[in-house]
Amino acid sequence: MSSYNKYQESSARFYAALPLGTLDTFARLSGLETGIDVDCLYREGFLHKEESVLELGAGYGRVLHALLERGHAGKISALERNLQFFRFLQEHYPAVPLYVTDLLSGDLPSADVGLWMWSGIMEFSPREQQQVLFQLASAVHKVAIDTPAVGAVSNATSTDGQHQEVSTGWGVIQTYLPTSSEISSFAQLAGFSFRMFPYQTTTQRHRVLYLLSRSPLP
């Protein structure tokens, strides 16, 4: 298995076997169930309620719920390739346009802001992470990326620097945590300006929001 595809293959197997309610449990452990990450985006002035949003990997709808609960007025759409979660989202968020699309497909809907939240970037190899940002540059004006801080407590059960694993009773997912310098480099190559915003979750987990824009950021 090549390093280029092992993260995607691991991710697909893991989520195919994942019990539907488990992501909510992980969100509570991570201190993200209240939507504190979305609140940070509004507070930092990066996300405005009239902007259209494309969520990149909506899972069970945690971020969608946070946006709708806060009265986000702009169009909200989402990508979700896992059919179990896609059907769940169809049932619970019927007004949200949903797309069964892989981020590497190159066929992404357009929006003002792309939200790549809750460590979604970590399910891709470094090469793939850069490739996705290149593709997003032609689909969205801004991108928010959320990851654990390097070296911080996370849901990983084993770690070797940036290579991390989450091992559960139904499977193992292998992930790659990019450094701030890697994300900065990927962003600049894709034509985005870049800044980072560290924050703490409700369970005192240290995380980082990377804010990318095709316009200069303050």
**CATH code of the domain in which 119 resides:** 3.40.50.150
- pLDDT at position 7 is 82
Burial 137-156 (b: 16+ CB within 10 A, else e): bebbbbbbbbbbbeeeebbb
Residue 151 neighbours by CB under 8 Å, 6+ apart:
none
| Contact in structure between 146 and 37 (CB atoms under 8 Å) | yes
Say which residue, 158 or 62, is predicted with more confidence: 62
Name the residue range of residue 57's domain: 6-155+182-213
Which tens digits make up the pLDDT trace of 40-73? 999 999 999 999 999 999 999 999 999 999 999 9
Pairing state of beta strands 206-213 and 193-200?
A: antiparallel
The predicted model scores a pTM of: 0.94
Classify residue 30: in a domain, yes or no: yes
Q: Is residue 85 part of a domain?
A: yes
Residue 186 near residue 137, CB atoms below 8 Å: no
The residues near 135 (Cβ < 8 Å, ≥ 6 apart) are 103, 104, 106, 108
Q: Domain for residue 163, yes or no?
A: no
Q: pLDDT tens digits for 105-133?
A: 878 999 999 999 999 999 999 999 999 99
Residue 108 placed within a domain: yes
CB-based contacts of 82: which residues, under 8 Å, 6+ apart? 12, 15, 16, 59
What confidence score (pLDDT) does residue 5 get?
64
For residue 148, the surrounding DSSP H or E stretch is: strand 140-148
pLDDT of residue 4: 43
The pLDDT of residue 134 is above 60: yes
Residue 173 lies in a domain: no
Would you say residue 171 lies in a domain? Answer: no
- Asked which of 66-70, 85-89, 167-171 is least confident by mean pLDDT, the reply is 167-171
Gap between the Cα atoms of 147 and 18, Å rounded: 21
Domain count, the chain: 1
| Average pLDDT of the residues in 195-200 | 98
- Residue 1 is predicted with a pLDDT of 36
Asked if residue 167 is part of any domain, the answer here is no
Q: Count of CB atoms within 10 A of residue 50's CB? A: 9
Distance CA 192, CA 130 (A): 12
Residue at token pair 């980082």: 208
Listed range (1-5, 104-108, 153-157) with the worst mean pLDDT: 1-5
Average pLDDT over every residue of 141-157: 88
Burial class (CB in 10 A: 0-12, 13-18, 19+), 186: buried
Q: Does position 167 have pLDDT exceeding 90, yes or no?
A: no
User: What does the pLDDT read at residue 2?
Assistant: 40
Position 82 in a domain: yes
